[in-house]
Amino acid sequence: MAVVHEGRPPRARGRALLAKLRLGGNENLYTNLWAGPFYGFRHVVETFKSTESPRRVSPVNVYYHFYSGERVASLAALRVVYDWARRQPVAPVFTSEYLAMVEGFRTARVARAGAGYRVWDHGALRTIRFDAGRFDAGRFDAGHGAVDMTRSRGVLGFTRHQGSLYVHLEGPGEAFIVPSATPGPGPYLAGASHRVSRWQREGKDWSFKLEGIGAKSAEIGALRAGEERRVEISGSEGTRHVRARVSTEGILALTLGDGLEVQVRAL
């Protein structure tokens, strides 16, 4: 999930503060300040769709007040919004986590360094997005690019979406991203529903940990198309072994349950 924020520096008791704003609005904006129509909040889904396509500019934020449960129409609208949100491939985070990501966005530094890009001071931010057409001539086109996982440092993997390249960072330490036409040998993290830690890869094998609330999933890239892989999934629900087949694009999609912590290992 890309994090884009707006900040307005108000003043409070003589000090400059940063207000971290979010898009989408609550039910007041869609019900004429709670004067009706009381089903209006269902239209926030249109806002979510507009801020996702043709280019992602804002995360999904379902923001409402307790009095949405006062009326049948407003409660039904809230159910429509939640049903829609739960069908989307979002990465659920707590508000405190999002605020930390925004702070990382504000402090992050990116600079050219030889064949790649240095990224540092990014704090809790774990995704860097490179948009197509935003690179110097002779570098790489984000719409068709990849990351050289052999030469990069502090990078878990990447994915392509809407013509942009999303690079997944390992942690708060300095990262080095090297663009490439192909990711090179060895698996990489193509996507995950929750925060990833303890990522390790050796040859064609890999392991990692997912943490957070809700159903978890992950995608591993650069595997042999059509290959069947055995995977061990461990968590509060116990340990199980599953078999999954790699797609024709070399992506292995995994459904990992909804335990608070899940450890995943290729066998």
Could you tell me if residue 229 is inside a domain?
yes
Q: Examine the domain organization and report whether 244 and 220 are in the same domain.
A: yes
Residue 18 pLDDT level (bands cut at 50, 70, 90) = low
Q: Examine the domain organization and report whether 71 and 149 are in the same domain.
A: no
Could you tell me if residue 194 is inside a domain?
yes
85 has pLDDT over 80: yes
Domain final position from 127, 157, 184: 184
17 has pLDDT over 60: no
Mean pLDDT of the chain, nearest integer: 87
For residue 204, the domain's CATH number is 2.60.40
Q: Examine the domain organization and report whether 96 and 164 are in the same domain.
A: yes
Confidence (pLDDT) at 55: 87
Q: What is the pLDDT of residues 98-125, one digit of tens each?
A: 999 999 999 999 999 998 999 999 999 9
Share of the chain above pLDDT 70, in %: 87
Q: Examine the domain organization and report whether 108 and 158 are in the same domain.
A: yes
Q: Examine the domain organization and report whether 42 and 116 are in the same domain.
A: no
Could you tell me if residue 1 is inside a domain?
no
Structural element, H or E, at residue 116: strand 116-120
Distance from C-alpha of 75 to C-alpha of 39, rounded to nearest angstrom? 8
- Residue 71 has phi, psi (to 5 degrees) of -125, 150
**Contact (Cβ atoms closer than 8 angstroms) between residue 165 and residue 158:** yes
The SS3 of residue 184 is coil
Which string of b and e fits 138-155 if b means at least 16 CB within 10 Å?
eebebeebbbbbebbebb
15 has pLDDT over 60: no
Q: Examine the domain organization and report whether 158 and 207 are in the same domain.
A: no
**Contact (Cβ atoms closer than 8 angstroms) between residue 74 and residue 82:** no
Q: How many domains does the chain have?
A: 3
141 has pLDDT over 60: no
Containing structural domain, residue 230: 186-267
Residue 145 pLDDT level (bands cut at 50, 70, 90) = confident
Question: Is the preceding peptide bond at 54 cis, omega within 30 degrees of 0?
Answer: yes
Residue 143 pLDDT level (bands cut at 50, 70, 90) = very low
Q: Examine the domain organization and report whether 202 and 156 are in the same domain.
A: no
Domain final position from 68, 86, 104: 86
Q: Examine the domain organization and report whether 192 and 180 are in the same domain.
A: no
pTM: 0.86
State the Cα torsion 69-74-75-76 to the nearest 10°: 170
Could you tell me if residue 75 is inside a domain?
yes
Could you tell me if residue 153 is inside a domain?
yes
Could you tell me if residue 121 is inside a domain?
yes
Domain final position from 184, 219, 234: 184
State the Cα torsion 99-101-104-110 to the nearest 10°: -150
Q: Examine the domain organization and report whether 136 and 194 are in the same domain.
A: no
Q: What is the pLDDT of residues 210-257, one digit of tens each?
A: 999 989 999 999 999 999 999 999 998 899 999 999 999 999 999 999
Q: Examine the domain organization and report whether 155 and 191 are in the same domain.
A: no
19 has pLDDT over 80: no
Q: Examine the domain organization and report whether 171 and 211 are in the same domain.
A: no
Q: Examine the domain organization and report whether 101 and 170 are in the same domain.
A: yes
Q: What is the pLDDT of residues 187-212, one digit of tens each?
A: 999 999 999 999 999 888 999 999 99
Confidence (pLDDT) at 237: 81
* Mean pLDDT for the stretch of residues 156-166: 91
35 has pLDDT over 70: yes
Could you tell me if residue 147 is inside a domain?
yes
